[in-house]
Amino acid sequence: MDVHKADIVISAVAPAQYPSTGLPEIALAGRSNVGKSSFINRMINRKGLARTSSKPGKTQTLNFYIIQDQFYFVDVPGYGYAKVSKTERAKWGQMLETYLTKRDTLKAVLSVVDLRHAPSKEDVQMYQFLKYYDLPVIVVATKADKIPRSKWNKHIKIVKDTLEFDKNDEFVMFSSETGEGKDEAWRLIEKYLAL
Ligand SMILES: Nc1nc2c(ncn2[C@@H]2O[C@H](COP(=O)(O)OP(=O)(O)OP(=O)(O)O)[C@@H](O)[C@H]2O)c(=O)[nH]1
Ligand SMILES: [Mg+2]
């Protein structure tokens, strides 16, 4: 998709605030600081639309971005941020679970992981949670620019083995820095959007 039009629609804390247009949604889940917001920005060629930060835990709400008037990217707050209180974490978990399991317009979830490291326990839990609810998953292994190409296969294997990756799911290598994987990511997203 060639994107010329993209805007934030709402930073939602409650389901009542989610858009009611009925347009399809693609959500991004992943550890805090893994590169979810950067992924959105790279996909739509807009450096600063989705807020990114070197400080983890910046995205605290479900942020809906409308793309070409056709669908939404939903930037989900990252998990695994130590400085968040237990109460806040429980609230966050509830919001996320409600969104992921009850949202009819949700077409696929991008499970974003860091290619450099084996997925964390929470990454595995998230992936398995999505599988349990039969949500279509695209695993995005990002920050590929930080690993030499000659070592990609080794890292891909570690990521897939740790997640217990289902070979019926989609997997894409990505870099927000270089744009690696952008075309493939669009191809997969468009397949699930079936616009
Ligand atoms: N080298 C490199 N850096 C990246 C890449 N993607 C993200 N980053 C950097 O990683 C940091 C975190 O990126 P964000 O996109 O803000 O991460 P996030 O997942 O949205 O984080 P939260 O909103 O806290 O959940 C920033 O400093 C980005 O510049 C990438 O592909 N390559
Ligand atoms: Mg973010």
pLDDT tens-digit profile of 57-81? 555 789 999 999 999 999 988 877 6
Question: Is 165 within the bounds of a domain?
Answer: yes
* Contact by Cβ (8 Å): 119, 164: no
Domain count, the chain: 1
Q: State which ligand 1 atom lies nearest to the alpha carbon of 58.
A: 24
Question: Is 95 within the bounds of a domain?
Answer: yes
pLDDT tens-digit profile of 121-131? 999 999 999 99
Q: The dihedral of CA 42, 108, 12, 29: what is its sign?
A: negative
Closest-CA residue, ligand 1 atom 14, reads 35
> How far, in Å, is the centroid of ligand 2 from the Cα of 58?
6
Q: Given ligand 1 and candidates 28, 51, 52, which is best to mutate, with the most ligand atoms within 8 Å of its CB? A: 52
Question: Is 1 within the bounds of a domain?
Answer: no
- pTM exceeds cut of 0.85: yes
> Which residues constitute the domain of residue 25?
6-193
Q: How far apart are CA 45 and CA 144, in angstroms?
A: 18
Q: State which ligand 1 atom lies nearest to the alpha carbon of 55.
A: 24
